[in-house]
Chain A
Amino acid sequence: MSLLSYLINGISLGSVYAIIALGYTMVYGIARMLNFAHGDVIMVGGYVALTVVLSYSTNPLVAVLVAIVVCTVLGIVIERVAYRPLRGAASPLAVLITAIGVSYLLQNVVLLIFGPNPKSFQSVVPFPDLKLAGGTLNISAETIVTIASCIVIMIALTTFINKTKAGQAMLAVSEDKGAAQLMGINVNGTIALTFAIGSGLAAIAGVLLCSSYPSLSPYTGSMPGIKAFVAAVFGGIGSIPGAMIGGIVLGVIEILSKAYISSQLADAIVFAVLIVVLLVKPTGLLGKKIQEKV
């Protein structure tokens, strides 16, 4: 039974990684940049939800919605102020370092407002845990909600991209910015929309993460952010199903390593698996093979 419950926990953690990784992957696919501030948007989402729950409304749905709105706006502002001016810069490293600057900025603003001590987060999931097999298998309500949200988001996002005009515009811009521009697509607007969606998803991920692991500090976002980035690369960066698979595989490996090998080495094992995958398949599980034309 314990293996099964570890697996379920792994899938749950992996679902959070997957939701974060979706933001990473979409932004990378469209803007070709590693947005290292993405993890910190998760953390901001967590704090916003916490503040709403503590001060204004105890309705968890309201808290989640406010967090989504705030993070979406935050994502758009960050893109407009810090990243867009660097489009067309001589080196892709410029925007990478700026993203790191934004990451520090978010951490320190939150640090000033909320202080360095971790806050305990109240779960926003108002359901009881699920007990199966005569009580020997306990699945927390957070786990169920997390996995369900992940599936819903995945389906919604895929439908959005394949069925709507804005979604098709995203695909076009990620293939070829210049050509998309010539076809009359608003490239800047499309990139802003991508950041908006990615950041909104980060807010959801933040709330879910903090509901399962109820401690929130200004640095809460960094490690899940890096892991989600790893998940995105693992699945093939730029690929939406890849981010999903990558996230879940990573979550399962992490929980199983913690359970059966060593909790201190779990991260090392996750990274080692990533390295092996990339050495065998240099563009990730579902990544497209790119060959330079001579």
Chain B
Amino acid sequence: MCGMNKKKKLRSNLITYGMVIAAFAIVQILQSTGHLSSLLQGLLVPICVYVILAVSLNLVVGISGELSLGHAGFMCVGAFAGAIFTKCTQEAITIDLLRFVLAILVAALAAAVFGILIGIPVLRLKGDYLAIVTLAFGEIIKNVINVFYIGKDANGFHFSLKDQFSLGMEPDGKVILGGPQGITGISKQSTFLIGVILILITLFIVLNLIDSRDGRAIMSIRDNRIAAESIGINITKYKLMAFTVSAALAGVAGALYSHNLATLQASKFNFNTSILALVFVVLGGIGNIRGSVIAAVILTALPELLRGLADYRMLIYSIVLIVMMLFNWAPKALEWRERYLGRFFKKSAKEGE
């Protein structure tokens, strides 16, 4: 991404956008000719969700160089903020698309606010300590939303951390967020088309940010914090910028996710979801945005495509994961690749960046 001149960078970015659009076109053709199984159709929106999540996490892990293990927390904030907005404005806003677009913006904003609130204290920690604190925040967000109740009646909103009855609503009031039951009856707005558009917007924001003055500052801090400081780059500002943009985009992924479900529960956004996003980033190549897109698509589809193998599918998934990591990262494996597959792999690796 970095060692290329302007034209090459532009071409590389265009390939990434083109790939997404081509994939969309192929899916449309398959769908209209009836070649797409219902299983795969059900996967289309989740794939978009995970692509956005992976790209946003790569901004923190690959571009800013900080390990975050709590990315699902921001997705959770976005999912709930968006869904609550939708439920509250069901009558007020009659145009579905407009309401959904606003819900996505609300989700991004809410997640960004959490990104700033968490980022300010956390980003002064380093390395594995930062990782564990992000993990902790992710779990806290999940746990708190899990005991949170929101109700609405003629008198306005009611909140409680105990149970539905403690909301103290009038009989006509309705529960919006019901603790561990989460939110039910969200209008299902997410479509593959909207998902793909959101992917393109995410890519546009992330790729352009990377290839700008701010992106350079973020990457210079990643490569050498002390040198970056010595040339007058504000470490806190740029780390926080990467973290917040990333959180906002994870929030968008969350809104897309929540508007694809009938019921939304906080327990879904656990540590494993954060880890899943990290797996996409690392397998796709740390700092390689296009790689994140490809890895997220393949690895989201893989367990479902392996469904025929029934009980063995997660076993195979885990073995594939370990083998791929060893093949891609072990110094000995890289040496071997260099020797026997040499030119082919080297070239593709460079172009992929």
Q: Do chains A and B touch in the complex (CB under 8 A)?
A: yes
Taking Cβ atoms with an 8 Å cutoff, the residues of A that contact B are 28, 34, 36, 82, 85-91, 93-94, 96-98, 100-102, 104-105, 107-109, 111-112, 222, 226, 229-230, 233, 237, 262, 264-265, 267-268, 271-272, 274-275, 278-279, 282-284, 292, 294
The chain B residue with its CB closest to the CB of A266 is B143
Query: Would A230 and B136 be within 8 Å (CB), given that A86-B330, A89-B331 are in contact?
Result: yes
18 contacts between A and B (CB under 8 A): A91-B329, A94-B282, A97-B282, A97-B321, A101-B321, A101-B322, A104-B318, A104-B321, A233-B128, A262-B147, A271-B140, A271-B143, A274-B132, A275-B140, A278-B132, A282-B126, A282-B129, A292-B226
CB pair A282 B318 closer than 8 Å: no
CB pair A274 B325 closer than 8 Å: no
Shortest distance from the beta carbon of A97 to any chain B beta carbon, whole Å: 5
CB pair A265 B144 closer than 8 Å: yes
Return the contact of B128 from the options A36, A226, A237, A264 (Cβ within 8 A). Answer: A237
Taking Cβ atoms with an 8 Å cutoff, the residues of B that contact A are 61, 67, 121, 124-126, 128-129, 131-133, 135-137, 139-140, 143-144, 146-147, 161, 180, 226, 271, 275, 278-279, 282-283, 286, 311-312, 314-315, 317-319, 321-322, 325-326, 328-333
Q: Within the assembled complex, what's the spacing in Å between the Cα atoms of A265 and B128? A: 25
> Which B residues lie within 8 Å of A268 (CB)?
139-140, 143-144
Shortest distance from the beta carbon of B15 to any chain A beta carbon, whole Å: 24
> Which B residues lie within 8 Å of A112 (CB)?
311-312, 315
The chain A residue with its CB closest to the CB of B131 is A34
CB pair A105 B318 closer than 8 Å: yes
Shortest distance from the beta carbon of A278 to any chain B beta carbon, whole Å: 6
CB pair A275 B137 closer than 8 Å: yes
Shortest distance from the beta carbon of A281 to any chain B beta carbon, whole Å: 10
CB pair A278 B135 closer than 8 Å: no
Q: Within the assembled complex, what's the spacing in Å between the Cα atoms of A275 and B278? A: 21
The total of Cβ contacts below 8 Å across the A-B interface reads: 133
CB pair B325 A98 closer than 8 Å: yes
CB pair A93 B61 closer than 8 Å: yes
> Which B residues lie within 8 Å of A237 (CB)?
128
Q: Apart from A87-B331, A93-B282, what 15 extra A-B contacts exist at CB < 8 Å?
A: A34-B128, A34-B131, A86-B329, A93-B278, A93-B286, A94-B330, A97-B325, A101-B319, A111-B311, A233-B132, A264-B180, A265-B147, A271-B136, A272-B140, A275-B136
> Which B residues lie within 8 Å of A267 (CB)?
139, 143
> Which A residues lie within 8 Å of B124 (CB)?
282
Q: Within the assembled complex, what's the spacing in Å between the Cα atoms of A105 and B283? A: 17
CB pair B226 A294 closer than 8 Å: yes
Q: Within the assembled complex, what's the spacing in Å between the Cα atoms of A98 and B329? A: 10
CB pair B318 A86 closer than 8 Å: no
Main secondary structure of the interface of A (DSSP, over half): helix
Query: Would A104 and B286 be within 8 Å (CB), given that A90-B329, A265-B144 are in contact?
Result: no
The 4 closest A-B pairs by CB, nearest first: A104-B318, A94-B329, A268-B143, A271-B136
Return the contact of B147 from the options A34, A96, A264 (Cβ within 8 A). Answer: A264
The chain A residue with its CB closest to the CB of B126 is A282
> Which A residues lie within 8 Å of B315 (CB)?
105, 108-109, 112
Query: Would A97 and B143 be within 8 Å (CB), given that A230-B132, A294-B226 are in contact?
Result: no
CB pair B330 A89 closer than 8 Å: yes
CB pair A102 B322 closer than 8 Å: yes
> Which B residues lie within 8 Å of A91 (CB)?
282, 286, 329
CB pair A264 B146 closer than 8 Å: yes
> Which A residues lie within 8 Å of B333 (CB)?
85
Q: Within the assembled complex, what's the spacing in Å between the Cα atoms of A226 and B279? A: 18
Query: Would A282 and B125 be within 8 Å (CB), given that A97-B283, A104-B318 are in contact?
Result: yes
> Which A residues lie within 8 Å of B161 (CB)?
262, 265
Query: Would A271 and B312 be within 8 Å (CB), given that A97-B282, A97-B283, A104-B318 are in contact?
Result: no
CB pair B143 A264 closer than 8 Å: yes
Shortest distance from the beta carbon of B115 to any chain A beta carbon, whole Å: 16
CB pair A278 B143 closer than 8 Å: no
The chain A residue with its CB closest to the CB of B124 is A282
> Which B residues lie within 8 Å of A88 (CB)?
331
Q: Within the assembled complex, what's the spacing in Å between the Cα atoms of A116 and B341? A: 42
> Which A residues lie within 8 Å of B282 (CB)?
91, 93-94, 96-97
Q: Within the assembled complex, what's the spacing in Å between the Cα atoms of A267 and B330? A: 36
> Which A residues lie within 8 Å of B136 (CB)?
230, 271-272, 274-275
> Which B residues lie within 8 Å of A94 (CB)?
282, 325, 328-330
Query: Would A226 and B271 be within 8 Å (CB), given that A101-B322, A105-B318, A271-B140 are in contact?
Result: yes
Q: Within the assembled complex, what's the spacing in Å between the Cα atoms of A75 and B139? A: 28
Q: Within the assembled complex, what's the spacing in Å between the Cα atoms of A283 and B180? A: 34
Shortest distance from the beta carbon of B120 to any chain A beta carbon, whole Å: 10
> Which A residues lie within 8 Å of B314 (CB)?
104, 107-108, 111
> Which A residues lie within 8 Å of B144 (CB)?
265, 268
